Structure 1
Amino acid sequence: MNKIFTCLFSALVFMSCSDLLEEKPKSLASENFYNTASEAKAAVNAIYGPMRSDNGLSINYPAQLEGLADYGNSRGTQTAVSLYQGLDNTNINRVAVIWDNFYQSIRNANLVISNVPKGTSTSPEEKAMFVAEAKYLRSLIYFAMVRNWGGVPLRTEENMTVADIPRASVEDVYKLILADALEAEAGLPDVPAEIGRPTKWAAKTLLSEIYLYQENWAGAQTKSKEVVESNKYSLVEVVTSEDFQKIYGPEVVNTTEEIFYFKYSRQQGFGLVSYAHRKTDKFNYYGPGGVYAQYTDSVSNPVIKNWDAKDLRKAHILYNVDIGLGPNSCLFRKYRDPAATAGAGNDYPWYRYADLLLFHAEADARANGKPTAEGLESLNKVHRRAYGFNSKAPSAVDFKLSDFSGLTAFIDKVVQERGYETMYEGKRWNDLKRLGIAKQRILETKKIVVADKHMLWPIPNSELLYNKAIKPTDQNPGY
């Protein structure tokens, strides 16, 4: 409970503790609801609820993505995901729920963007900050959607009362994503208004990744460098593998490398749901037991087999437990909370400083057409910390420019490092797709030929049935 009250992040931690902060769609739609700063803040808080709920980012969204990654497999009802056989009805329904929750959050963001500027008892500065936060979150959501579904209907403050909206092109979706992120960068504060809220540095980090997807290498280099040179963040130093709990542990409130996280607590409906653990006599990493929907193998999977045992991240994330699939099977324990009774108290790291450093390493090399000392240092900071060395000082595990024959070799190393660093954060599959190596990696690691259809999720039936501007022929290929 100490963490809950320390965070003071009402939407994500104690929405249920205050009538003011409850999601009340009728009130949110009321013309009189947005007049004061507290009312506007409550409307902003309502954006977070659907996107980080049990059916959204708390479990369904990362679980669907992690089953596709090259370092692991799914089991149980998630099996079809990692076999690339096409989603069965269960997983199609899960993807549909993610879609619905994302659009609920977008709808709430649109209400803020449309109505907060009309408030009569809110200062211009407060209005700008609330609208900037709503645009940051809308950009974040549409960025997730375009990567997983391609072009989607663009619902904004200008058409939110219109039911029938056609799929926009991927290019047009990115135009909105970029415009929102740039406005967020201009309007968000230098430091978070409360722990867990975005800042202009979170917007710059988002822009860094957006530019990587657009192959705007100079833009990605500039934005990521601005964050590095701000000296606002630093990696949490570790000496042992268990020290990584200072980053991911359920009691952690905030760290020096937190750029933007979704905040969770052990309250019912507000916790991170474990889909990676199995409670046994020997192990208890999640109080309610866990569903262990994903697993890996320390011998048959080359990503895991070739991972240096001296890398402290490996021991922190993986643990060996036979789940009926052989003695070499391993589960993931990045998010541990033995004291959890429903959801876990671990926060979800959407953007850590480690992400930003690796964005910078890649963007700097691509912008220059070769690795440079500056980009290499960003890579080395993450690599040093992984081996227990001071991230800011030269170490025995440092890479050197002479280690790389050219740009491709350097990018390959950055991709490998990011795979280890962000394992089980729901980021790997989209990274592999962006880099154009998803099919190659799955063939190498799982011996499976991946069809084109698996690059995107299906548009849900709910959208096809009730949005008359979308026809069955608008469905993604293969579904």
Structure 2
Amino acid sequence: MKNKLIKTYWLGLILFSGGSLLNSCSDSMLEENVYTGTSQDNLVAQGEAGCKILVDGIYKYVQYFSYSRGNNWQLAPEAGTDEFTLNWGFAITEWGGMQNFLNLNSGHYQPMEMYREAYKLIAQANQVLISFDDKKNDPSYSAMIAEAKFWRAYTYYKLQNVFGSVPLIKGTEDLSSGIERTPASDIRSFVSSEMEDIENILPSTPTAYGKPTKWAVKAFLSRFYLNNKDWTKASLYAKDIIDNSGASLQAKYQDVFKIDGNPEIILAVNQINQSDKGNKYVALSLEGELRNALNIQGVSASNGYGMSNYFYSTFAPDDQRVIPFDKNTKQGIAIAGIQYKADGTPVYGSVSSPETVQKALNRVITFKFPLQENIAKGEDSDADFPLMRLGEIYLTYAEAQFQLGNTAGALEYINPIRTRAGLSPLTTLTLDDILNERGWETYHEGYRREDLLRFGKLLDKVEAKFKYDFPTTPYPNSGNITRELFPIPADAISLNPKLTQNPGY
């Protein structure tokens, strides 16, 4: 039975691309150690220690849900919304295919990368769950087994959101002749069942930073039920977190992303200042001339990420969530407008005709994840990436309460978010107000695609972005609802004869 674990969806590919599944981590779960010669049976024989090695090995793949690489899980879903712009070209099969996601095709490497990395994590979790299935009721193992279930369910939900129906692999299947896609509704049922099963098994406080707790499960379920429009359950889970988790809002928006382990964070991807183990968001956003003019040291400039000009234009001028970056203090978030070099000349354009960042770069540079100088490889900061935080939970509760007819209750939780941002409280509320507030509060955190799909506005908002930011670029597939899902990668279909393509590709 245990040998079946080595059969994953990608057959040999998953196990042998990017390192063995027996990679584990030190206390930070990021310092990689390869247990050479350690077989699966030997790990099982080691009992709790072997189980911990396999569970900690999951975190190599959890990194993919952050900005730890140029091509990461956040990138394509973010670039396929109204809030994000990617500068690396417009070729359909290259980076530009992610930017103009309406032109994505099954040969694009980014959907392939997302699909492959997700199933690597699932394969690692499956190893834990089958190897130690007979220990699931043992208190010494139950939390570790629940941890593996958490990440497997989390990953299946991410897969379902972008690809729709996907193969549901639990590790015991005979995959020699392929495996069919499981309906998206069944994936969602599996995910909610798995999460609810472990809700009271995981501890209230993490056993190590970056590991899930019961509050992370509740935070996931609050968002899960919100996206499935079960307003009552979304409200119940969100309010439980607000009232009982011990989490609290940071006084300053920037501190949410600046201070590791702050009380607003419920679960984060742990980032460290080491090569390819950190947060590359700033380095992948900066442009070289701008970096030099701002006197930023020890940070590369890949000239890629940014906020779309369209989305930036929707913020109030004094919104602290896009507070201007100050080159003297090196504090702040948004770099927009005309920027100047030390000699007083503009960074872009000429003295007689200076250009804004928006015009020169087709985007606004943001340091939502704060600038850190002299970082590893010029790329890897230790600014953690939050997967779940209390600010988003407030907005989940507000939206669910509004949908249940309790406008006063919704305002009670949306207004603290606005007040922190330096904005006036609302006295009336609409669904558009809620969607806007979610966008302004959580931009570039990976929520926007889910939010726009829930509101039925994904295609409309993306079209608005392109017509605002790129008015001369032909806009394809306008209103084509099949583009709400990404293509199943062609390589995946070639490996699995039972796998079918999504409509429209």
TM bucket (normalised to shorter chain) is 0.7 to 0.9
What amino acid is the match of 1:86? N
Distance 1:10 1:358 in 2: 35
The partner residue of 2:185 within 151, 171, 176 is 171
Distance 1:34 1:159 in 2: 24
Shift of 1:115: 1.6
The partner residue of 1:278 within 248, 266, 287 is 287
Q: Quickly say closer, same or farther: Cα 1:444–1:16, change in 2 above 3 A.
A: closer
Within a 5 Å distance, the mapping from 1:211-226 to structure 2 comes to 211-226=225-240
Distance 2:166 2:301 in 1: 33
1:12-31 CA deviation, whole Å, 9 max, x = no partner?
Answer: 945436x4xx476x746326
Look up the match of 2:385: 348
Look up the match of 1:236: 250
Q: Quickly say closer, same or farther: Cα 1:160–1:228, change in 2 above 3 A.
A: farther
Look up the match of 2:115: 99
Q: Quickly say closer, same or farther: Cα 1:248–1:348, change in 2 above 3 A.
A: same
Q: Quickly say closer, same or farther: Cα 1:84–1:463, change in 2 above 3 A.
A: closer
Look up the match of 1:124: 138
Q: How many correspondences in the alignment?
A: 434
Greater mean deviation of Cα atoms: 40-49 or 438-447: 438-447
Distance 1:355 1:417 in 2: 10
Look up the match of 1:475: 501
What amino acid is the match of 1:261? A
Distance 2:501 2:498 in 1: 12
Conserved 8 A contact 2:30-2:277: no
Distance 1:475 1:180 in 2: 27
Distance 1:50 1:323 in 2: 39
1:35-89 CA deviation, whole Å, 9 max, x = no partner?
Answer: 4322211211111212424998644221212222213422224333333451268
Conserved 8 A contact 1:204-1:223: yes
Look up the match of 1:63: 75
What amino acid is the match of 1:16? E
Distance 1:220 1:54 in 2: 23
Conserved 8 A contact 1:51-1:101: no
What amino acid is the match of 1:190? S
Conserved 8 A contact 2:29-2:56: no
Conserved 8 A contact 1:55-1:98: no
What amino acid is the match of 2:80? L
Look up the match of 2:61: 50
Look up the match of 1:459: 488
Within a 5 Å distance, the mapping from 1:14-29 to structure 2 comes to 14-16=29-31, 19=33, 22=34, 27=38, 29=40
Shift of 1:245: 4.1
1:127-148 CA deviation, whole Å, 9 max, x = no partner?
Answer: 1101111111111111111110
Does 1:74 find its partner at 2:86? yes
Distance 2:413 2:220 in 1: 17
Shift of 1:353: 0.8
SS at match of 1:349: strand
Greater mean deviation of Cα atoms: 222-231 or 272-281: 272-281
SS at match of 1:102: helix
The partner residue of 1:184 within 184, 198, 203 is 198
Shift of 1:231: 4.6
Q: Quickly say closer, same or farther: Cα 1:23–1:313, change in 2 above 3 A.
A: farther
Conserved 8 A contact 2:83-2:444: no
The partner residue of 1:432 within 448, 452, 455 is 452
Look up the match of 1:365: 402
Distance 2:174 2:28 in 1: 28
The partner residue of 2:47 within 17, 26, 36 is 36
The partner residue of 1:133 within 117, 134, 147 is 147
SS at match of 1:202: helix
1:340-371 CA deviation, whole Å, 9 max, x = no partner?
Answer: 123221111111111111111111222x2342
1:414-457 CA deviation, whole Å, 9 max, x = no partner?
Answer: 21111011111122122111221112222334335353343111
Q: Quickly say closer, same or farther: Cα 1:13–1:339, change in 2 above 3 A.
A: farther
Shift of 1:293: 1.8
Distance 1:52 1:334 in 2: 18
TM-score (norm 2): 0.79
What amino acid is the match of 2:104? L
The partner residue of 2:272 within 265, 289, 313 is 265
TM-score (norm 1): 0.83
Alpha-carbon RMSD? 2.8
SS at match of 1:308: coil
The partner residue of 1:112 within 121, 124, 128 is 128
Within a 5 Å distance, the mapping from 1:338-417 to structure 2 comes to 338-342=373-377, 343-366=380-403, 368-373=404-409, 375-387=410-422, 397-400=424-427, 403-404=428-429, 409=430, 411-417=431-437
Identity of aligned residues (%): 22
Q: Quickly say closer, same or farther: Cα 1:15–1:52, change in 2 above 3 A.
A: closer
Conserved 8 A contact 1:139-1:177: yes
What amino acid is the match of 2:237? K
Q: Quickly say closer, same or farther: Cα 1:39–1:283, change in 2 above 3 A.
A: farther
Q: Quickly say closer, same or farther: Cα 1:245–1:444, change in 2 above 3 A.
A: closer
Distance 2:285 2:455 in 1: 27
Distance 1:416 1:198 in 2: 29
Shift of 1:156: 0.8
Shift of 1:104: 0.5
Distance 1:323 1:113 in 2: 55
Shift of 1:158: 3.5
Conserved 8 A contact 2:66-2:74: no
The partner residue of 2:316 within 305, 308, 311 is 308
What amino acid is the match of 2:195? A
Q: Quickly say closer, same or farther: Cα 1:94–1:109, change in 2 above 3 A.
A: same
